[in-house]
Amino acid sequence: MARTPLVFGLGLAVALLVGWVAFPRVLYVQRHQPLEFRHKTHAEKSGIVQCSECHAFRDDGTFAGIPSIAICTACHSERIGTTNAEATLVENYIKPGQETPWLVYARQPANVWFPHAVHVQRAALECRECHSPYGESDEVRIYQLNRVSGYSRDIWGPSISRLRRAPHEGMKMSDCEDCHRRRNVEVGCIGCHQ
Amino acid sequence: MSARYGMVIDLDRCTGCGACMMACAAENNVPPVPRATPRTGLTPMLVRKVSNGGEGVDRREVFIPIMCMHCERETPCVGVCPQQAVEVDKATGIVMQMPQRCLGCRYCMTACPYHARYFNWWDPQWPAGMEKALNPGVAVRMRGVVEKCNLCHARLHSATQKAAATGKREINPADYVPACVEACPTAAIRFGNLADKHDPLSLEVRSPDTFRFLTRLGTEPKVYYKSKEAWVRALAESNSGSGVETKRG
């Protein structure tokens, strides 16, 4: 009988450890990006100042997203630096004319419709409000894939408890709606879903 | 000011060619269902053939394209949904179906007076190569959910996005035209914003030849029909399915 609190405490500790520490490790698989691309190098050395030179909007308002290899070729048709990453880019992708298979951290499920034009061009939101300051960072992040849903970890956010330290952590439906509520934006189901 | 999108379908112009059905299926990633019977197919847009029941020289026939009528009031499918997967969109008046949230109970199909809702009895299967030609703006539905006409909302999305790129909130009406309207070779299907007094459609719905089906239910459909033939207009309140043949594509 005297052992009951001990067993209970131990059981609780094990359960918490499994839930909060082991589970996330099992749930997510780590994937590396195909290239060590650095935003910071490009901001400092390439002379490109605006994100939109690579992450462009087309005339019809669609967002090109991650730039195609044609944009990289403009500067990297031959090696201009000494890094291995650049060699990989030139040899594996630019010379054979292949697109780089980037993993998209922010990728939403197929039934979600997200318009960058509305948020960036009309509402003038900054990229970092949703994407963290990743666009100024000095490294490519490791991409984490949820084994169950097949979605990127960025949708749920880094914290399993969903207690957010910064507003850009996680982009579930409730996170889209949180910001919309704060800014008095009303969107019906059909507005965000396709 | 929110929009109220609607249609007028001119039955005197409809030749029953079925181009609207094909265009609808292509736009909305509706899979072909070879195993389907007339009760289990997927036809968000369906051209039905109806006759006046006469014989010989007295016989008259009309083709009636049937789709979701986007009922404005007391929308029958909304109230019965236990999932809140159906909603009359405030901004557009589109009665939208959210297959993602649907649990497949099919109450809405029973409730719909127009039989304009369809159930996915099978997982979608595309003929080889066709999955590459799917519309990326419309998510493919899975087995076990209900679907119907969402008034080509992917086209509304594109129009919204295009307007936003120039900082505008109002879309250009020319950018938002549903696939069936675009495909109709005789321009029998007309589309517009009924909330806009200057839209030609707002005038057309007031013509004496224009009618709606089953108005006695009080659901205020936003899809209107038009015919100069009195017997066709008389079909509007008829209950009987006699003389109705279903054309399937």
Tell me: the pLDDT tens digits for B136-169? 999 999 999 999 999 999 999 999 999 999 999 9
Check CB contact of B28 with chain A, cutoff 8 Å.
Answer: no
| B100/A193 CB distance under 8 A | yes
Tokens of A130: 């949703």
DSSP annotation of B210: E
Q: Which domain holds residue A134?
A: 28-33+102-194
Asked whether the predicted pLDDT for residue A193 surpasses 50, the reply is yes
Interface with chain B: mutation pick from A122, A172, A185, highest number of B CBs within 10 Å: A122
Identify the three-state secondary structure at position B201.
Answer: helix
Q: Which CATH number characterizes residue B137's domain?
A: 3.30.70.20
Asked whether the predicted pLDDT for residue B247 surpasses 60, the reply is no
Contact status, residue B21 vs residue B47, Cβ threshold 8 Å: yes
Residue A141 lies in a domain: yes
Nearest alpha-carbon partner for A131 in A116, A146, A145, A150 = A116
Asked whether the predicted pLDDT for residue B239 surpasses 70, the reply is no
pLDDT in tens, A69-98: 999 999 999 999 899 999 999 999 999 999
pLDDT in tens, B43-52: 999 999 999 8
> Which residue carries 């956010």 as its tokens?
A157
Distance (Å, rounded) from C-alpha A168 to C-alpha A176? 10
Contact status, residue B51 vs residue A149, Cβ threshold 8 Å: no
Nearest to B96 among A111, A117, A190 (CB): A190
Residue A20 lies in a domain: no
Contact status, residue B25 vs residue B47, Cβ threshold 8 Å: no
State the pLDDT at residue B246: 47
Distance (Å, rounded) from C-alpha B249 to C-alpha B247? 7
Distance (Å, rounded) from C-alpha B180 to C-alpha B199? 19
Tokens of B150: 């969402």
State the pLDDT at residue A115: 97
| B137/A194 CB distance under 8 A | yes
Distance (Å, rounded) from C-alpha B108 to C-alpha B119? 10
**A48 vs A144 pLDDT, higher one:** A144
pLDDT in tens, A104-162: 999 999 999 999 999 999 999 999 999 999 999 998 999 999 999 999 999 999 888 88
Residue A140 lies in a domain: yes
Other CB atoms within 10 A of residue A167 CB:
14
DSSP annotation of A97: T
Contact status, residue B4 vs residue B195, Cβ threshold 8 Å: yes
Nearest alpha-carbon partner for B182 in B53, B60, B27, B52 = B27
Residue A57 lies in a domain: no
Q: What number of helices (H) and strands (E) belong to chain B? A: 7, 11
State the pLDDT at residue B242: 45
Distance (Å, rounded) from C-alpha B159 to C-alpha B163? 6
Residue A181 lies in a domain: yes
Contact status, residue B153 vs residue B94, Cβ threshold 8 Å: yes
> Which residue carries 């239910």 as its tokens?
B217
Write out chain B residues lying below 8 Å of A193, CB-based.
98, 100, 139
ipTM field:
0.88
Identify the three-state secondary structure at position B224.
Answer: strand
Stretch A165-176: mean pLDDT, rounded?
90
Residue A182 lies in a domain: yes
- The angle subtended at Cα A161 by Cα A156 and Cα A164, nearest 5°, is 70
| A110/B158 CB distance under 8 A | no
Check CB contact of A149 with chain B, cutoff 8 Å.
Answer: no
Check CB contact of A188 with chain B, cutoff 8 Å.
Answer: yes
Residue A76 lies in a domain: no
| A118/B164 CB distance under 8 A | yes
Confidence of residue A12 (pLDDT cuts 50, 70, 90): very high
Size of interface A-B (CB pairs under 8 A): 74
Distance (Å, rounded) from C-alpha B150 to C-alpha B139? 12
Number of independent structural domains in chain A: 1
Distance (Å, rounded) from C-alpha B225 to C-alpha B212? 6
Residue B177, strand partner residues: none
Nearest to B157 among A113, A121, A189 (CB): A113
Check CB contact of A189 with chain B, cutoff 8 Å.
Answer: yes
Residue B64, strand partner residues: B48
Check CB contact of A96 with chain B, cutoff 8 Å.
Answer: no
Number of independent structural domains in chain B: 1
Distance of residue A184 Cα from the nearest chain B Cα, in angstroms: 14
State the pLDDT at residue B201: 95
Confidence of residue B240 (pLDDT cuts 50, 70, 90): low
Distance of residue B196 Cα from the nearest chain A Cα, in angstroms: 21
Distance (Å, rounded) from C-alpha A30 to C-alpha A8? 34
The alpha helices in chain A, defined as continuous H runs, are: 4-17, 23-27, 39-41, 69-76, 84-88, 116, 127-131, 153-156, 173-182, 189-192
Check CB contact of B216 with chain A, cutoff 8 Å.
Answer: no
Give the pTM.
0.93
Residue A138 main-chain phi, psi, to 5 deg: -105, 10
Distance of residue A149 Cα from the nearest chain B Cα, in angstroms: 14
| B90/A188 CB distance under 8 A | yes
Q: Which domain holds residue B204?
A: 5-247
Contact status, residue B178 vs residue B155, Cβ threshold 8 Å: yes
Distance (Å, rounded) from C-alpha B151 to C-alpha B95? 8
Residue A48 lies in a domain: no
Asked whether the predicted pLDDT for residue B248 surpasses 60, the reply is no
